[in-house]
Amino acid sequence: MAPRRMTDQRCGRRRGRSDEGAALAIVVGMTAVLFILTTMLLSVAVYQSTSSSSQIARVKAFNIADAGVNAYLYQLRHDLDYYVTTPTLTARTEEGSWTVVASAPSASVPYLTLRSTARLNSGEASKTVIATVRFPTFADYMFLKDSDINIGLGALINGKVHSNRNVSNQGHITGLATAYGTFSNSGGGQTDQGYLSGPSQVSLIPFGDVKPVMDRIKAVAQRAGAAGYAGPAAGKQGYELVFSRASYTRRTVTGYTSTGYVVSNDPVTYPIPNAGALYFDDDIWVRGDYALSVTVVGAANIYVVGNVRPTDPDSNTTMGLISEVNISIPQQYTTIPDAMTVQAALLARTGAVTSSFGSALRTSLVIDGSVADVQVGGFALVDSRGTPVAGFRTRTYSYDSRLDLFPPPMYPPVGTDSLKVQSWVER
């Protein structure tokens, strides 16, 4: 029996050594797990600290870049030509520095683009903010007048109306109506967006501010060579411009007849310049369709002698016609269609947008755009009963909403301290 007891004792000692090894393995394992968890927690803490510091740096950089845009906008509100004289503006702050670069509007991009880049002094982060800005222009209004505006009974005007003098309204104005002088609704007159009047609420919009813009357009047009500019037509009457998509054909006007004008037989076709600016130091006769945005300036009179409209009615292309004197539709010309459409922004700096009346009576005229002038104009002559006897029997004026977002290139800005910020993007 003794040998059997000795065997049992050896077995007991063998089981004790096995339990001690398992316990040691568990302790080592737990230690490893705790080490890993501790390392992970420390890594997360370090990452969070680094991430938080980086995020704070990015926010600081964004705020500095944002401050740069606002500083440039402040200058623009006091000087609409600031981007011309100062295309780059730089400043330093306690945290870093910003640089704003201004890109002028063009035919393809009708906004002023401000790119503000900020860098922290620590070098931790940089940020760029890009803002696109548009100036309110003379093309923002269906009617903008330097004279009194009298809107008759039953007239419908889709868009904003402004007068540097007084407005008397018996019709229906869908947009905001403003008058530097007095405004009156009478005989059922209606203004969907209300009205403002008087110097305390309304700013004067001086037509004199248009001349410097015309001079700038002339300088830009001259840089495009013969495609953008033509001087006085020596010994002739001026120039005919017939637009066709992305180009126009120019002829010299040599004289007049009772029902039209006479042109030379030496046509020259030019592409519309990239800047979208055309200038002519004489009278011009305009018609046709356009596929690129363009502003046409005449140093004397502009005669609209046919339909003027975009090739693609759903596009964002717009046209501006700016005359030093009058913009006239000579309805007696044989080139005038019975139902005529003018889709453009029209601005007569010292004269009127009007018909040059003959004896002809056409059916209809649609102006889908905007009208700005100094003197009183009109598109119909009526008898004592109010019946049209010359001009156009019906006249429809509708504001082209594309002009609000895509004004013609270099179109004259309204001299107020307001700006339209179209977009504000962080990069």
SS3 330: coil
Q: Convert the pLDDT of each residue in 355-368 to its tens digit.
A: 987 778 999 999 99
Q: What is the pLDDT of residue 365?
A: 93
Coil, strand or helix at 418: coil
Residue 154, pLDDT above cutoff 80: no
Return d(Cα 196, Cα 183) in angstroms, integer: 8
- Please say if the pLDDT value at position 331 is more than 50: yes
State mean pLDDT over 218-231. 96
Greater pLDDT, 264 or 417: 264
Mean pLDDT of 88-108: 88
**What pLDDT was estimated at residue 11?**
47
* Residue 283 pLDDT: 97
Provide the pLDDT confidence category of residue 88 given band limits of 50, 70 and 90.
Answer: very high
Rounded Cα distance, 415 and 370, in Å:
18
Whole-number average pLDDT of the chain? 88
Name which residue leads in pLDDT, 406 or 427: 406
pLDDT of residue 214: 96
22-66 pLDDT, tens per residue? 777 777 778 877 777 777 777 666 556 555 677 888 888 999 999
3-state secondary structure of 121: coil
> Could you please report the per-residue DSSP string of 288-310?
EEESS-EEEEESS-EEEEEEEEE
Higher pLDDT, 373 or 74: 373
pTM here is 0.78
Choose among 264, 273, 272, 266: nearest CA to 288: 272
Determine the Cα angle at 243 with ends 241 and 248, to 5°. Answer: 70
Q: How many whole angstroms separate alpha carbon 160 and alpha carbon 143?
A: 7
Task: Report pLDDT for 352.
Answer: 96
Cross-strand pairs, 96: 120
pLDDT digits (tens, 9 = 90+) for 303-323: 999 999 999 999 999 999 999
- What pLDDT shows up at residue 19? 65
Residue 310: the pLDDT is 97
Percentage of the chain exceeding pLDDT 70: 91
- Compute the average pLDDT of residues 79-106: 89
Check residue 357 and give its pLDDT.
74
pLDDT at 47: 57
Q: Phi, psi (5° rounding) for residue 209?
A: -70, -15
Domain boundaries, the chain: 2-136+422-426, 206-411
- For residues 375 and 373, give the distance between their C-alpha atoms in angstroms, rounded to a whole number: 6
pLDDT score, position 175: 93
236-248: pLDDT as tens digits: 999 999 999 999 9
Predicted pLDDT at 408: 92
* More confident of the two residues 406 and 385: 406
